[in-house]
A and B are shown apart, each in its own frame.
Chain A
Amino acid sequence: MRRTVVIATLVTLFLVAIQLDILSSLRFAGTVVMLVWLWPVAMGLAGFTGLAVYVALLGGLLVDTHATTPFGLTALVGALVAYGASLLGREGVGDLDSAAYWVTPALATLAGFVAPVLYAAGGVFVFNFELWRGSLLDVMVVNALAFLLFARLVTRLARTVATVGDRVWR
């Protein structure tokens, strides 16, 4: 299990680096694709709840240290959608093998669509009402499309990482 956590941590750090150095510059319609949300969602869909929440908090907090938005919000939203995805993943609904080909991308798309709304809603709880004023719909659509495209690939990576150790942390 320790080995799994170490590898998951390393992969998360690598993905955070991609988020900060590449995706923040490579914007689509001015919108950043949130890989730090897709990664825990994929881990959740693969059925690994503990790891999904862990990588969501780790990746989200690291990104939050570089953003001027409320600290911890990215991590919290990531953890919420990852947990939700893992509930389905544990039942085999989002699993790559047991579910139909389109189910994993469809669930990831839904997560990509909902996560920005949760983010903007979360801002209200810390009295930051400006998050609603931006291009929320653009953010939702772009992230949903990106999650749709990369869901299977990232879920496969998540499953590989999570099953490296002798004992699987679920």
Chain B
Amino acid sequence: MLAVVVTLIVIVLYATGGVFSGLRTAANTVVEPFNWSVNEVARPVGHFFAGAVNYSDVVSQNQKLRYELGEAQQRSNELWSYERQLEQESTELDVPFVGSLPTVAAQVTTLSPTSFAATVDIDKGRNQGVLAGMPVVANGGLVGSVLSTTPNGATVRLISDTSSSIGVTFANGTTDIVVSGRGVNNGLAATSVPLTTTLSPGTLLATDGLEGGLFPPGLPVAKVATITLTPGAATYNLTLRPTSDLRHLSYVDVVLWEPSA
């Protein structure tokens, strides 16, 4: 009878916490440092013996883990590379000034093999609807026009090419200026600009889109860098800075717009 009563009291105290809980906590607090010390000493020893006994397993497991780590690292690198590529494409193909005109995105494959021509080759051609004469734009503005095509490629003459001439205008669109390429290094220039034209450094010039012209209207081409007035002359000379970075083109958009359209 006494045993039953004691058992019941113990069960009640155990279930409700109380004295036992306090005792257990106190015991744990006392024992814990020893337990930790023993574990820290014993675990490496145990691992050493386990490793010695199962050496081949450890080696193979190690190799497997290294391989998995390498794969994970490779995936991570690939992901980083894709993100960079996507970021670059998004930046360079951001061409809101094209408006509703359809475009074909293309990658620049090669640059001109000589210093005497500012051209690039792209990876889209006739099969993708790219035709000679179509304007080519990138982030910033006009970069050139398609010179020739193959079924899956095209050559683009950049606006900095010495044989390039573009009709541009600015602000209210009343004055038309002809911008000429001066080679890869020298950007663009305009000569014979009437003195009545009110230009200042930084003025944005865009294609004039005259009827029968080679480009649709409103494509940014360049900004005025310097204005030169020769004493006694009746016109300005301008040096211009292209709005697109023509030296580092990776992706471009071909505007599916034909000069005759």
Contacts and interface: CB of A to CB of B under 8 A. Distances in A.
Interface of A: 19-21, 23-25, 27, 29-32, 34, 63, 66-69, 74, 116, 119-120, 123, 130-131, 133-135, 138-139
A21 B110 CA distance: 7
Interface stretch (B72-80, B178-186, B209-217, B227-235): B178-186
Interface in B145-191: 147-148, 155, 157, 161-163, 182-186
B247 A131 contact: no
Contact of B117 (A30, A67, A116): A67
Contacts of A130: 161-163
For the complex of A and B, list the 9 residue pairs with the smallest distance between their C-beta atoms, beginning with the closest.
A134-B183, A130-B162, A30-B185, A133-B162, A30-B184, A135-B185, A24-B113, A139-B115, A68-B117
B116 interface: yes
Given A68-B155, A68-B157, A135-B183, A30 B115 contact: yes
B113 A131 contact: no
B184 A34 contact: no
B162 A134 contact: yes
Interface of B: 110-117, 119, 121, 147-148, 155, 157, 161-163, 182-186, 247
Contact of A66 (B110, B115, B116, B186): B110
B247 A30 contact: yes
Nearest to A28: B115
Contacts of A32: 112-115
A23 B182 CA distance: 21
A134 B184 contact: yes
Given A30-B247, A134-B183, 5 more contacts: A24-B112, A25-B111, A34-B115, A63-B113, A74-B114
Contacts of B183: 30, 133-135
A76 to B, nearest CB: 13
A20 B147 contact: no
Nearest to B186: A135
27 contacts: A20-B113, A24-B112, A24-B114, A25-B110, A25-B111, A27-B111, A27-B184, A29-B185, A30-B184, A30-B185, A30-B247, A31-B115, A31-B184, A32-B112, A34-B114, A63-B113, A66-B112, A66-B113, A67-B116, A67-B117, A68-B117, A68-B155, A69-B117, A133-B183, A134-B162, A134-B182, A134-B186
Contacts of A131: 116, 162
Contacts of A34: 114-115
Nearest to B189: A133
Contacts of A133: 162, 182-183
A15 to B, nearest CB: 12
A69 B119 CA distance: 10
Nearest to B121: A66
B249 to A, nearest CB: 11
A63 B110 CA distance: 13
A130 B181 CA distance: 10
Contacts of A23: 113
Nearest to A31: B115
A30 B185 CA distance: 6
B112 A134 contact: no
A130 B182 CA distance: 9
Contacts of B116: 67, 69, 119-120, 123, 131, 134, 139
Contacts of B115: 27, 30-32, 34, 116, 134-135, 138-139
Contacts of B161: 130
